[in-house]
Structures are given as structure tokens and as C-alpha cells.
Amino acid sequence: MRILVSDPLSQAGVELLKREHHVDVRTDLSPEQFIRIVGDYDALIVRSGTQVTKAVIDASNLKVIGRAGVGVDNIDVDAASAKGIIVINAPEGNMISAAEHTISMMMALSRSIPQANVSVRKGEWKRSRFLGVEVFGKTLGVLGLGRIGAEVTKRMRALGMNVIAYDPFITVERAKELRVDLASLDEVLAKSDFITVHTPLTKETHHLIGAKEIAKMRDGVRILNVARGGIIDEKALYEGLKSGKIAGAALDVFEHEPPTGSPLLSLDNCILTPHLGASTVEAQINVAVSIAEQTLGALKGEPVRNAVNVSIRAETFGAVRSYMPLSEQLGKFCIQLVEGQIQGIGVTYTGEVGQCDVHPLTIAVLKGVLDHVLQSPVNFVNAEIFAKKRGIRITETKTEKLEDFQSLITVKINSDKGDWSVSGTLFLGDQPRIVKIGNYHVDAETQGCMLITSHIDKPGVIGKVGTLLGNNNINIAGMNVGRDKVRGGAVMVLALDDPIQDAVLAEIREIDGISVATAVVL
């Protein structure tokens, strides 16, 4: 078979590929040349430079596209999936490098090393100006205990730091393994001398640290971000650094890269590097070898560890294939209702579906749950691995007992703040529907924007919600209400044509009779 490498790749990876296949390394292709020759290859390996557009994919006969790194933003994954092309990435190859860069930045921050270097080169000898602090005995707050956050934790504990962490998707058991105390976000902000960010950039984590959060921190705190730009509000960070509330900051990533014109560039107490987290010789070799090994395996038809779109092979799931979209959407729906620290995920299969091999459906549920919260692409190969690494208990129950439906799938997520469950089935054989939220019967499609409320079944509550949405130009496409008894507890599902803003959601929660209001997007 023929493999095209269109971006610079470590020679170790190239040599591995050449042992089994013909390999061409062409890093100088124009878009026109690329489209013209891509049809001659069975596999393509890129980094971030090559844009693998729909036009490229349509012109190809590729079986595999490999990304030597984490992000696949430069690959049209949907177009590849539609054509049956497996897309693979290598998310773990730069893990140690990113962790070590975080630690390097922390030590440089604690001792003002870059500033002292510049001073000496100017012919100065101002030792008192660069009085530092030890990290020994200090408290490190880690926001996000995924792969990189865990590696940073291990190393900084060895340097004598006390570590506390905020991560609602890590269990207490996993935190104990890392010898870390889990805490709320507010507790981490209030108790930490150093704070380091290791979360993905999502709607929930965008500006996770802003002016309000900085106000809750200790005076003289030091902040680091070697994760993703946008998690820290850079304007608020600038004000905190200028006022002295924040003693120093170290950033490797920015909301806009390069950060041309950023006021942070003018501050001496802010250390900046140009997105170097993965820029080591070892990381480049690791991602090259990883993507080469996975590409070779995929070309042989073997299971692939980091396939971004393995769901294109759903035909292998036989009798339960039609339940795959429902299962994934139930997981994605339920996780958006959950509060607190996840401890376990249980899936119950009732009726005809309970007579089948349902494990692929459980994996689909996990994919739905984790895809909503993790930065790394989650697929049917790695979803269970991710869950187990985070110490999440997974239970699978089957019963042939018929209830109200021929087949019913119930997803239950428990956390330290309670239990949440959602049930669904297929209407007319292949149309996914949510039919229960907790103990309340509903009927909702599994798509689009939704508002879910728990409220008291009394006159005026629903009307006030509708009026508030209308006043904010949010159109209601459909409504369904489930209740246990007249003027008792109730659940409402509103299908919306427009996304609901956080400010509007906050107003809904203030309506008398509303106990919970949650925006869900599927």
C-alpha cells in the first residue's frame, strides 16, 4: 500500500511505516497539487499544517487519515466518516512534555528566572529585585485531573507541594490514587498558592477563571495556563496582575495566537511562551511513532486505539445497531443534568433489547457522557478506557421484563450530590425518544436545544417561563410536561429553536415554583 506524509514527521515514524509500505514524504504541496495526487494513496499522515478538506477527501481513495498530535480541526472528520475513512490521532505522545513545560513555567514563575536573565544581560546585578518563593510546602490547585493534570500532580507532590484539585469528572477513588484532595472550584481558588489549568476548552470552561474567580483567590497567588487559551479571561488576568492581587502568571496559550497587542505583553510579572507544551524532541518522536503504529494497524483491519470516528463501523454491532444513536444521546442528555462529582454510570436494558449483546450500547452511552466533557476525541474504542482511568464505576443490567415499552434503555448517573436518570426507546423502529426523566414520563426528541425544568405543578409557572423566553426572542418549538400528581412535582421539557443564554437561564431559576432549570444541547 502507499502512504503519503504531507507535514514534517519525525524520521522514527517514517522508518516504521517504510518497513511495511511505500511511503512518500511531500511537505511542499500546494492545495491543487495535493488534491491531484491524493487519489494515489491508501493512507495520509498530517500534523496541523495540511488542511484535509472535503474536496481532498472526495478526491481520495484513502482508508486511513492519521494526525500526529491531538487536534483534528484541520481534518473534515464528517466527510471522512461519510466516505468510510478512519481518522486517527495521537493524544498521549506529548503528555509528559506538556506536564514538564508546566513545571518549568511554575519554577520560572516562583523565581522570576526570565526577568532575572534579561536584567543580567543588561549589565545589572539587582538581586533584591528578584526575591522568589519556594514551592515546597505551598498549596497547588489543579483545575482538571486528566492525563496532563495527573502527571503535573505526581511531580509537584515529589517537590513537597500540597495538591488539591477541582475536576467533577474524576472520582474520589481516582483522586486517592493520585494522593490528591478533591475540592470545589471555590475551595481550590481560596486555598491555593499556585493554580494551574488542565481542562479542555468547552462552553463550560470558557473563562473558567475571570474577575469573580480572581477575587476569591489568595492575595499573591500565581496562575499558570499550559492547556488552552480562553480558559482564563486575559483581561481579568491583566487587571489582577496590575493590581498586585496576582503575584505572577505564566501562559503558554492565548485566546488569540500569537497574542499580538495583548496588554499582558507589557507586564514584567507575566511569563509568556509561544505554545511550546508539545515542543520537545521526545514528544515529536512519540506522536510520530504512535501515529505510524496505529496507521499500520488500521490498514490491516486491526482495532485502533485512538480512532476519532470508529462509529462508522457500527454495522459490526449487529442486532443493537439501531439503538446506538439513542444510547449515545441518552448519555449526552443525562450528563448535562448532573451536578457534583461523578461516581458511577449504570445502564439498564429492559424488554427485547435486554436479550441482545448490549455492551456496544453501554460504550455508546459512555461516549455520549465523556464526549460532552473531555477535550480528547472520544470514540467506541477509548470511551471505556477513559471512564475507567477516571475511576468511574460502570454497571450494566439486563432484564427481559416488559414495562410500558417493548424495549427501554435507562441511563443513571450518580454523583456525590445525588442520582440522575433518563430513559429512552425507539418509536417506529428507528426514531430515538426520551420517555422518562427520573420518575416522570415525558416524550421528547433527542436533538437540538432544550430547557429542562423541575417545578411545582401549579398555575402560572409554565406561563412565566414562556413569557420570559418570548421576551428574549427565544422560540418554543415543542413542550412536554410530566407530573406525579396534581399540584405535585413536575418536569417540563421545552424544545427551543434558539440557544438559551446563561442570563435568561438564571432568570428562569428565580421564578417561584422552579427548583431546577437546565439547558441541554444535543
- Nearest Cα to Cα of residue 227 among 268, 266, 277, 265: 277
- Nearest Cα to Cα of residue 277 among 101, 71, 69: 101
Measured between alpha carbons, how far is 46 from 313 in angstroms, rounded to an integer? Answer: 23
Cβ count near 413 (within 10 Å): 23
Measured between alpha carbons, how far is 522 from 333 in angstroms, rounded to an integer? Answer: 7
On whether the CB atoms of residues 6 and 29 are closer than 8 A, the answer is yes
Measured between alpha carbons, how far is 419 from 363 in angstroms, rounded to an integer? Answer: 20
- Nearest Cα to Cα of residue 263 among 249, 279, 277: 249
**CA separation, residue 368 to residues 145, 361, 373 (Å):** 20, 11, 9
For 224-269, the three-class secondary structure string (H helix, E strand, C coil) is EECCCCCCECHHHHHHHHHHCCEEEEEECCCCCCCCCCCHHHHCCC
Measured between alpha carbons, how far is 66 from 338 in angstroms, rounded to an integer? Answer: 35
**CA separation, residue 435 to residues 319, 372, 443 (Å):** 22, 21, 5
**Which of the residues are catalytic?**
228, 257, 275
On whether the CB atoms of residues 46 and 65 are closer than 8 A, the answer is yes
Measured on CA atoms in the order 382, 385, 389, 392, is the torsion positive or negative? Answer: positive
Placement of cell 469528572 in the chain: 169
Sheet holding 449-456, edge to edge: 476-483, 489-496, 449-456, 514-521
Measured on CA atoms in the order 24, 30, 33, 37, is the torsion positive or negative? Answer: positive
**CA separation, residue 51 to residues 29, 67, 72, 74, 276 (Å):** 11, 11, 10, 5, 22
**CA separation, residue 230 to residues 136, 237, 246 (Å):** 29, 11, 18
On whether the CB atoms of residues 24 and 5 are closer than 8 A, the answer is yes
E strand or H helix at 326: helix 324-335
Q: Where are the alpha helices (DSSP H) in 354-512?
A: 359-371, 383-389, 461-471, 502-509
- Nearest Cα to Cα of residue 410 among 501, 330, 502: 330
445 residue type, one letter: E
